Amino acid sequence: MSSTVALQNMRAFYNNGGTRSYTFRKQQLKKLKQALLQHEEEIYEALYADLKKSREEAYLTELGLILAEIRTILKNLRQWMKPKPVTTNLFNFASSSSIYRDSLGVVLVISPWNFPLQLALMAAAGAMAGGNCVVIKPSELAPATAAILQKIITASFPPEYVCVAQGDGAEVVTEMMESFRFDHIFFTGSVGVGRAVYELAAPKLIPVTLELGGKTPAIVEADANIDIAAKRIAVGKYTNSGQICIAPDYILVHTSVKEKLLKALIKAIKSFYGDDPGISYDYGKIINKKRFDKLLNYLQQGNIVAGGRYTAASLFLEPTIMDGISLESELMKEEIFGPVLPVIPFETMEEALAVIAINPNPLALYLFTTDKKKEHAWISTVPFGGGCINNTLVHFSNPSLPFGGVGNSGIGHYHGKYSFELFTRPKAVLKSPTWFDPSLKYPSFKEKLRIIKMILR
């Protein structure tokens, strides 16, 4: 069956209205949860094959987050779906006003390779909660996970409700979008590809959510708890071998504590991954040779303080710390997306802000300080998607917080209730009684304008 026919079948299925009841949505989300648990071992095997993720990391950063998201949705979905009463102005006296949440229709979710299960299904679960039909396009660069994802979806749902589209991303997405108008597109990936998706969506005025990336700074002030900062930056940077869109991309550290921080970072890396991270159970690999070669090029652009060892055959690159880096280098102008961590000293906040301004609007920002005035100054001055104070990454794991970027790092946000709102639209409804029918609202208005002005002002 052609993709066009399959998508038309999804449209017909949605138009029949069966996806929109609370009972249906609840049943399908429970079915998804059960299927994930049923295939848990296969999920771990796939993530290990694609990215060398340990079972524990796979659960913490992929499966566990999806299960938590589904649990949050199921707990709150009935309440989220209820029409919300709002106030009504005096001009509409005796009427009542409500906001309904309408499903969108047929939604396309395009997911990346770095968290190939989680980033596909977190969005898909939100779309299902919104009462939509969903097409999932997983990354072909993580083929083992794409295969188990398709197995789970095919076994759990009819293809006219949820399906998986496999193949080359550019070809498959372009073909679908040329022949069909989706009601929303949710994309996670690089800025360049996100821009291309946006351009494809524009002629048909398709709403788009873009979860992109950027250069996320970790800022370490002189008053920070250095040992804690080092551990939390290291785990945020080297989890998944640094292949995380919200990983600390570089460190801005106050000159007075730079050497202390470097020593603490080296100590933290050793405590996490041992003397040889290449044989560590907890340390992964680079996704492919193209990405690996790009990361090796970065190693030539400064001084290697620690790490730098690599094995091409296994796509292993050791957790690496660098300094002495030019702000004009590729290393400081491109999202690193790997286990290479530049460290840049600063004396004043203005110096640090100038570095951030080279790559504005980061997806995340991590600030390490014990000073509330500094905390306020940084948070209120720098535009960024979301972040942490005295931590890294973990804001992503709280379903009560919206996740998304700003400017170059993305458009829109999701997680928890924010996903439900993303994959529905507000529908305004004003209900008027028939027992109250003032002549003031009917022509002629010539003698009524004074009274109308009094009411509306």
pLDDT in tens, 109-147: 999 999 999 999 999 999 999 999 999 999 999 999 999
In angstroms, rounded to a whole number, what is the distance separating the alpha carbons of residues 415 and 148?
23
**Residue for token pair 């949705």:** 73
What integer pLDDT is reported at residue 240 of this predicted model?
Answer: 97
Q: List residues bridging with 208 in a β-sheet.
A: 185
Interaxial angle between packed helices 226-238 and 258-273, expressed in degrees from 0 to 180 and rounded to the nearest 10: 50
312-323 burial, b at 16+ Cβ within 10 Å, e below that, comes to eeebbbbbbbbb
User: Where are the alpha helices (H) located in 239-335, listed in sequence order?
Assistant: 258-273, 289-298
**What are the residue boundaries of the structural domains of the chain, listed by start?**
3-212+407-428, 217-398
**How many C-alpha atoms does 409 have within 13 Å on its Cβ side?**
24
322 within 8 A of 307, measured Cβ to Cβ: no
Tokens found for residue 402: 């919206």
Work out the number of other CB atoms within 10 angstroms of the CB of residue 153.
22
Please identify which of the residues 133, 163, 245, 388 carries the catalytic annotation: 245
Distance CA 141, CA 100 (A): 40
Instruction: Give the mean model confidence (pLDDT) for residues 156-170.
Output: 96
Residues 314-371 pLDDT 10s: 999 999 999 999 999 999 999 999 999 999 999 999 999 999 999 999 999 999 999 9
What's residue 136's pLDDT? 98
Distance of CA 41 to the CA centre of its chain: 25
Active site residue 133: no
Q: How far apart are CA 238 and CA 282, in angstroms?
A: 10
Measure the CA–CA gap between 394 and 388, rounded to whole angstroms.
Answer: 7
Span 205-224, pLDDT tens digits = 999 999 999 999 999 999 99
Spell out where 53-165 has E strands. 84-86, 96-103, 106-110, 133-137, 162-164
The catalytic position among 62, 69, 160, 211 is 211
pLDDT-derived band of residue 448, with 50, 70 and 90 as boundaries? confident
Q: Are strands 133-137 and 162-164 parallel, antiparallel or unpaired?
A: parallel
For residue 2, what pLDDT is reported?
Answer: 65
CATH of domain 3-212+407-428: 3.40.605.10
Interatomic CA distance for residues 198 and 147, integer angstroms: 27
Beta strands in 226-383 (DSSP E): 250-254, 303-306, 310-311, 316-317, 320-323, 340-346, 364-368
* Confidence bin at 457 (pLDDT 50/70/90): confident
DSSP assigned state of 402: -
CATH 3.40.309.10 holds for 217-398: yes
Q: Is the pLDDT of residue 1 over 60?
A: no
pLDDT, one tens digit per residue, over 47-89 is: 999 999 999 999 999 999 999 999 999 999 999 999 999 999 9
Count Cβ atoms below 10 Å from residue 167 Cβ, excluding itself: 14
Mean of per-residue pLDDT scores for the chain: 96
Which strand (E) or helix (H) includes residue 419? helix 417-422
Q: Are 261 and 343 in contact (CB under 8 A)?
A: yes
- Diameter of the chain by CA atoms? 88
Close Cβ partners of 306 (under 8 Å, ≥ 6 residues apart): 262, 265, 266, 269, 319, 320, 321
Active site residue 211: yes
Section 79-107 average pLDDT: 96
275-296 average pLDDT score = 96
